[in-house]
Structure 1
Amino acid sequence: MGVYRFVLTRQWVCLTLITLALIPAMIKLGFWQYHRHEHRVAQNELIARNLYGKPVPVGELTSPGHIVPRNDYWRAVSATGTYDSAHEVVVRMRTSNDDKVGFQVVTPLVLDDGRAVLVNRGWVAGGEDSRAYPPVPAAPAGEVTVTGRLKADETSGDSGIKDRKGLPERQVMLINSAQQTAYVGKPVLGGYLELTAPVPAGGSPEPVAEPDHDSIGPHMAYAVQWWLFAAAVPVGWLILVRREKRDRDEESAKAASEPATAAA
């Protein structure tokens, strides 16, 4: 006990308290990263399951005012109707699959029952004037059957995109069925459809890429790192204690030898 009396000094008490605080903090951070890893794995499984399921009629999963639940994100859906190009809008500040900034084209598809569903037909580049309506290939005429991924309405809270006002005509910041209902003049199904087929002629608009569901990210590695740090902290503390003891023993031995040398 006396050998480690120096551990009770103010300096070592502070160091010990910091060490004791770091260990649970690092363990907690490790579990936080582990839970993020679990969330990512579950997300990937949900995306894969919904992407490759058999398409169902969009009206079976949503209705006007409906909030698309998480379990239905990216569900494969189909819809038959006629595009309402007169009420088409473009979504500002969207990136292409190769990270170019432009617009996404959202065209209402009017169903046989008179309701409409918003269809994100894909990405187009902007023209020279960012406030002008960009060059957009016309939607197919006549009755069409489309398939796509069901997405929830975008909000500023979920997307982090500020819903700016005073935008040029027919330009919006968010894809939101509630906002578009008054403009379209028809009941609009909640959420929207991200077009996957038929593929636009000439590749424009550029279809939105399917969400990544293969990578699991670095969260598991980060979790292991935090737990290794937690294990290393007490080891480091013990090494410092032993080093301090060794240095003090050497100083004591040197101090004891100096009087003996002087007496000789």
Structure 2
Amino acid sequence: MPARRHPSLLRIAATMAVCLAVSAVATLLGLWQYGRHVERADARAAYGSAVESPVADLGAVVPAEASTLPPGAQWRTVTATGSFDPAPPTVLRGRPVDGTAAWQYLAWFDTVDGQSLMVNLGWVPQPGGTEDASAFDLPSDPGVQITVVLRDWEEDDGKTTAGSITRITPAQLPAPTGDPVPGYGMLRELCADDSCVPTPIGEPVPLPELTLGPHLSYAWQWWLFAVMAPVGGVLLLRRDARMDRAAPAARPPQRRRRLTDEEIEDAL
């Protein structure tokens, strides 16, 4: 009966090393996806808390000496009184709204307290929209009151376009006249001359919808794959062992017996 053959130790070690490496990478990817889920969950919780907070004065939420928005300030609804900078609004390109190609417009708002807040005034559809920002007539009296939702500055993408910007960031915006608020505001209401409107330009830019996304399900998928990789390696080695046992054993080579003189004579 032929001896039973098994995979070599080198083959077993190489297979399991590959499976464990795949399992380690999958575990790290699962942790990365879970971290993104936690970040989104925290942002969503902060958003809900800020939205439910009562409307406050801008100076009470963001002190004049602040270099960044204080914790809990993003998504807060605040009011401010002052006047718009007389310069034409800045055009923000490449920012569709609800799937519609759009131009958004921004302008500095100088408060009576000496702060300057960059305000996203609203948007118009790009086809047939007004590219010349000077065509929009912003109220010039010093008693304008605005209600905005505060946002952090966006990251600069390094792009520059004549007469427009691609990110709401100080690096691409004109310099303010007062102490700049470390963030911008999305206009919700503008009151001047005893009348209030949501925006003097087109439509207000809607607030983004914060969702948790699929990151948690992705994390569980990666972790399941991390568990399955070593199991798959064991099953693969067992299958190879069964295939080796089922294969016919190679017969050892037979030595030719030397013919005797009598056998040679008989053959002749």
- Does the pair score TM above 0.5? yes
Question: Which residue number corresponds to residue 153 of structure 1?
Answer: 153
Q: How many residues align?
A: 243
* Cα deviation digits, residues 163-203 of structure 1 (max 9, x gap): 316x13xx333334576563x43433332111122484688
Indicate which of 171, 174, 185 corresponds to 1:193: 185
Q: Give the aligned residue type for 1:66.
A: S
Residue 27 (str. 1) matches residue 19 (str. 2): no
Shift of 1:129: 9.9
| 1:181–1:242 distance in 2 versus 1, CA, 3 Å | closer
* Structure 1 residues 1-264: aligned runs within 5 Å: 5-9=6-10, 11-60=11-60, 61-63=62-64, 66-69=67-70, 71-96=72-97, 98-126=98-126, 133-134=132-133, 137-140=136-139, 142=141, 143-156=143-156, 161-164=157-160, 167-168=162-163, 171-177=164-170, 180=173, 182=175, 184-198=176-190, 200=197, 204-213=201-210, 215-252=211-248
- TM-score, normalised to structure 1's length? 0.77
Question: Which residue number corresponds to residue 260 of structure 1?
Answer: none
- TM-score, normalised to structure 2's length? 0.76
List runs of 5+ in structure 2 lacking aligned partners: 191-195, 252-268
SS at match of 1:193: strand
Shift of 1:45: 0.4
User: Any conservation in 2 of the 1:178–1:190 contact (CA below 8 Å)?
Assistant: no
| 1:113–1:25 distance in 2 versus 1, CA, 3 Å | closer
User: Any conservation in 1 of the 2:88–2:133 contact (CA below 8 Å)?
Assistant: no
The structure having more radius of gyration, on CA atoms, is: 2
| 1:127–1:28 distance in 2 versus 1, CA, 3 Å | closer
Separation of aligned partners in 1, 2:15 and 2:36: 31
Separation of aligned partners in 2, 1:84 and 1:232: 62
List runs of 5+ in structure 1 lacking aligned partners: 257-264
Q: Which structure shows the higher helix fraction?
A: 1
Shift of 1:126: 4.1
Aligned-residue Cα RMSD (Å) equals: 3.2
Separation of aligned partners in 2, 1:108 and 1:62: 18
Shift of 1:137: 4.0
Separation of aligned partners in 2, 1:4 and 1:49: 67
| 1:7–1:27 distance in 2 versus 1, CA, 3 Å | farther
Shift of 1:127: 6.7
Shift of 1:44: 0.6
Q: Give the aligned residue type for 1:220.
A: L
| 1:244–1:180 distance in 2 versus 1, CA, 3 Å | closer
User: Any conservation in 2 of the 1:126–1:134 contact (CA below 8 Å)?
Assistant: no
Question: Which residue number corresponds to residue 261 of structure 1?
Answer: none
Shift of 1:18: 0.5
User: Any conservation in 1 of the 2:34–2:215 contact (CA below 8 Å)?
Assistant: yes
Shift of 1:30: 1.2
User: Any conservation in 2 of the 1:127–1:134 contact (CA below 8 Å)?
Assistant: no
User: Any conservation in 2 of the 1:34–1:219 contact (CA below 8 Å)?
Assistant: yes
The percentage of aligned residue pairs carrying the same residue is 28
* Cα deviation digits, residues 2-59 of structure 1 (max 9, x gap): 96741424x4432221012112221121111111111111111011111221122112
Separation of aligned partners in 2, 1:134 and 1:44: 34
Shift of 1:247: 1.5
User: Any conservation in 2 of the 1:177–1:192 contact (CA below 8 Å)?
Assistant: no
| 1:221–1:45 distance in 2 versus 1, CA, 3 Å | same
SS at match of 1:244: helix
Separation of aligned partners in 2, 1:194 and 1:54: 17
Separation of aligned partners in 1, 2:139 and 2:215: 44
User: Any conservation in 2 of the 1:79–1:146 contact (CA below 8 Å)?
Assistant: yes
